[in-house]
Structures are given as C-alpha cells and as structure tokens.
Structure 1
Amino acid sequence: MSQEYVGIDAGGTLSKIVYTHGEDWGYKKIATNRVAEINRWIQANFTNPHIHITGGKAGVLLQEFPVSAKNVNEFEATCEGVNWLLEQNGILSQIGSQFMVTNVGTGTSIHYVQQDSYERIGGSGMGGGTLLGLSYLLTGEDHYDKILELGRKGEGEGLNVTVSDIYSHETPPISGDLTASNFGKAAQMKDKAFSKEDYISAIVRMIGETITTMSVQAAERLKTDAIIYIGTTFSRHDTLKEIVKGYTELRGKQAYFLEYGEYSGAIGALLNNGLKKAVL
C-alpha cells in the first residue's frame, strides 16, 4: 500500500486541503470552523496518512485532531507550493528563479522568492475580508457568491475620481484613466443614486489597484518583472483578475495566476521541503 499524505492550509475562513493517493493528487475545501467535518473526511478517506498543517488557524486544528500532525511555517509553505506549481505548469523556466508572490486571502501578504529562499516583504489589510466587510456595510449583502455576481454587473468607475478629472483642462502627466481617488466621488450620492452593483464594483477596483500597486513597487525595488498572484480571493473572481492583470502590465510587470494557486500553502505543507528564509 502506498503512503498517503495530506497537506492542510487552515485559513481564517476556509481550510484548503491537498492529498495524495499514490500518484493521484486531490483538492478540497472545508470551512475551518467545521473541524469535526474535516476530521470525519480524513478518517473516511485515509488509513494512516502523514498530515502537515499550516496557516493562521493551524493551532486550532492541531488541538482538535485525534491524530498527530506536523505544523509547517505558513510563509515557507506558501512559497514552496508556488514554486512547485510553477514548475508543474512549465512557467518556472520562463520567469526564472526570482519573482514576487502576492497572496490575497482575508488580507494580503507579499513575498520575494529567489531560488530556495524567501522573504516576506510586507502586506496589507486589503483582501477578501475587505470585500466582504465593505460590501456588507454599503449594500447589506454578506454572501460571497452574491457579492461576486453583483460586482460583475457594476460600473464602479463612476464613484472614483480619475486623473483626467483632476487634470480637466490640460493633458495629464500620466494615463488619465488611472484612479486618483477611490470613492472620491461618493459625496455625490446625495445627487445621484448608485446601485449595489456599482458599490461592489468600486470596492473590487480599490482592492485590486491597491494590492497591485504594492506588488509592483516591491518588484521594482527587488528588480524582478514576474508577480505571481494567488489566494482564495481570486477564485472564480475574473473581474478582480482582470483589474490586477491590466494594472500590473500597465506598470511594466508580468502577472501570473496559477491553476490551484489558492492551494499553494497546502501543497507546500504537504511537500515540506524546507525553504530557507532569505536575509536581504
């Protein structure tokens, strides 16, 4: 019988699970607060697996699991998983061994990877939690799928001040389509009604532009052109991907979105090859 392995990335909302049965890999998501369900699923599908856990809620799962499991550093696991996915998809040879990783979950964490080393460069409170929180405050919607649906239909640009709005009587020094102030026209809501769709569209644009700006600035400083965007916030969110991709390319960098990218932490935990933390 071949050995079984399970890697779990226990996030604030979802636990991403990667597992192997011989040569076959599988992927699954279960809400992190449903620990009993995670336990039942593992017991029903595996005999005696090696379990490696990472993520902010790893401690919660480790306390509740009836079997022993290894705790793996979250940032190390994420970068290890990204490396593996890049290699599996034939992208690593294109971009080389030096790149940025922007992980957009509840918030955002940005990393620099060089060969077998990594360094966390910074992060932001902007992320999926921002999308859920502001969408609820502005529209009353709190279901993620509904928020995605509404955001696709909105025209959020009408809530933002653009560079062209500021340079209204002369040629702007940079692209006039760029956002100068997110929600800068919101005060006009007393004169004009904005829809739920418009509000959510504007929130998505604010999040996308903010995390892209941070990522591009970090890439500039560290002299690399490749930025790998991962995280559950991108899952099924084509609008956010389009904003991030377009803005990244506008700034002269290359944006990559990986299939199964949201499972990078779980993959890295499962592999657990031990990336070194870089000292820059």
Structure 2
Amino acid sequence: MESMDKQYVGIDAGGTLVKIVYSHEGHLQFEKMATDRIDEIIEWINRRFTNPEIHITGGKAGVFAEACPDRVWRVNEFEATCEGVSWLLEKETLSSGIGSGFLVTNVGTGTSIHYVYADSYERIGGSGMGGGTLLGLSYLLTGRSDFETILEMGQQGNGQALNITVGDIYSHETPPISGALTASNFGHTANMKEKEFSSEDYIAAVVRMIGETITTMSVQVADRLGTDTVVYIGSTFAGHDTLKEIIKGYTELRGKTPYFLPRGEYSGAVGALLHYGWSDALL
C-alpha cells in the first residue's frame, strides 16, 4: 500500500469536460474544466499538487499521458465509471434502496448504458444522443453556443407544439397509449408554418427530444435485463433541472424508478481515483 501522504488525483477526461477528483483532509474535492483547456489543467495540477499520482480515464486520457508520462496510470473508462457509481451510491446511502442489479445511463457528450450487478459490470450499448447533441442542434437552430445560456433558454421555452403527440394522431378516438406521449419530435410542420416559435422554444424541444430518446433506450434495456432501476449520471444533468424532470417523468411513466446520483458526473473520476486498491488509504 502506498503512503497516506502520497497525493492522488482522479481524472475523467471526456470529449467536452475534464472532471477532477482528489482527497483533501479526508474529504473529496471536485473540479470541472473544459477539455480544450488541457494545458491550463496540467498547469493547475502542477501548482496544486507536488508530484501526484494521476489515475486517469476517458477519451482524452492519452493527452495527459503524453504530457505527464511518469505520473499517469490509465484506467478503463467503463470500469472506472461503474466503480465510481457504486461508491457514490454507498456514500449517499442509496445502495440499500437500489439493490444489487441496476442500470447506469451516463449522459455526457453522447450516452453510454451499463448494467451493474454486485461487483461486476457490462456495457450494454449507447447512442450519439447526449450533451453534444444539445449543443450542436441548439447552435444550428438559434446560433447560441454557450452551454449555460442554452440551459437557461431551454428552461424558459416550451417547444411541445413543435412535436406531434399520440393524441394528435388519434384525434377522433381513444389512443392505445397515453395521448401525451410524443409520437414525432419536431414533426408538427403544420404548426411550424402557422405559428412563431422563439429560440427558447426550439431549445426546449431539443431538450425534450434528447430526454425522451435516452429514457426510451434505458427503459427498453432495463426491461430486457429484468431490473426496475435506472441510475442517471453525466455532466449534461448538471444544472439542467428541465432535462431531469423530463427523464424522471418519462421513466416513471414506463414503470421504472429513476435515480439522479449527486455528483454523478464525477463517477469516472472517482472510480479512477479509487482504482488499484488505494481506496482505504485515500478515503
């Protein structure tokens, strides 16, 4: 076991954001920075720590490995994420209510879905639908590219009239499923031709499309695996209550129980930090 005086840093270097976790006086500290500022992040690490052991995961881990080759330990991304989720669930005293088998839906730049059972995990699949989709489509529709601005605008808008609902299709009879469900995202071209929609409405409609699509994938996988629990994590949820509400409502409508893990976007960094058996010394 390494000395308790040794400094350790867990990093999840994603496509959009770099999440950093480290232990300070017995407590976890959390930092988040834009991936395109890697040089600044390395400078920050060098100022903050003295010759730290860096445990890193994520798609941009190789950049850090090249910059700090003697200090970096690479960790498998999916393993780190699931290990971090399990630890954070226990930290938040949620493990007993969730049980041993559950789904993890990680919504970052894209979306990755995992099944966690006891001490094992399996990546089930994923989608290109995620935070990157929100940024890209919002920019195409409104010209806005700042994430915080997009979040605020999406919460102010109401884009449901841009969609076709099941009730719209079954307009003269009782629908076989809830009429409030979306039948086609951005499908109501008649409304688009007749009505004016704001930039806020467009972004709100994008948020709903992303939330409903991610939830549908998650619920279908949960059905196949025989679990009723979906744990949602990822940087896309940070500060985005509207997306959480859409996913929560739609997951419950489909008969599953959603959990939004506090600090869940740091799961990969936490799992990387705890890797190699140093958790007892660190925390």
Q: TM-score, normalised by structure 2?
A: 0.94
Note if 1:63 corresponds to 2:98: no
1:135 to 118, 135, 138: 138
Corresponding residue of 1:278: none
Corresponding residue of 2:242: 239
For the Cα contact (< 8 Å) 2:64–2:72, is it kept in 1?
no
For the Cα contact (< 8 Å) 2:52–2:71, is it kept in 1?
no
For the Cα contact (< 8 Å) 1:4–1:50, is it kept in 2?
yes
1:218/1:208 CA distance change after superposition, 3 Å: same
For the Cα contact (< 8 Å) 1:17–1:27, is it kept in 2?
yes
For the Cα contact (< 8 Å) 1:10–1:57, is it kept in 2?
yes
Name the Cα RMSD after superposition: 1.3
For the Cα contact (< 8 Å) 1:135–1:147, is it kept in 2?
yes
Note if 1:96 corresponds to 2:99: yes
Q: Distance in 1 between matches of 2:221 and 2:19?
A: 27
Q: Distance in 1 between matches of 2:11 and 2:265?
A: 12
> Which consecutive residues of structure 1, in runs of 5 or more, have no partner in the other structure?
275-280
Q: Map Cα deviations across residues 169-189 of structure 1 (whole Å, 9 max, x no partner).
A: 011111110001101113532
Note if 1:197 corresponds to 2:200: yes
Residue identity opposite 2:258 in structure 1: A
Q: Distance in 2 between matches of 1:147 and 1:252?
A: 30
How far the C-alpha of 1:67 sits from its partner, in A, is 4.2
Q: TM-score, normalised by structure 1?
A: 0.95
Q: Distance in 2 between matches of 1:244 and 1:221?
A: 19
Range with bigger deviation, 239-248 or 56-65: 56-65
Note if 1:157 corresponds to 2:157: no
Range with bigger deviation, 50-59 or 29-38: 29-38
Residue identity opposite 1:32 in structure 2: T
How far the C-alpha of 1:66 sits from its partner, in A, is 6.1
1:147 to 146, 150, 159: 150
How far the C-alpha of 1:3 sits from its partner, in A, is 2.2
Corresponding residue of 1:124: 127
Corresponding residue of 2:281: none
> Which consecutive residues of structure 2, in runs of 5 or more, have no partner in the other structure?
278-283
Range with bigger deviation, 31-40 or 226-235: 31-40
Structure 1 residue ranges (4+ consecutive) displaced by more than 6 angstroms after TM superposition: none
How far the C-alpha of 1:5 sits from its partner, in A, is 1.1
Residue identity opposite 1:76 in structure 2: E
Q: Distance in 2 between matches of 1:66 and 1:21?
A: 24
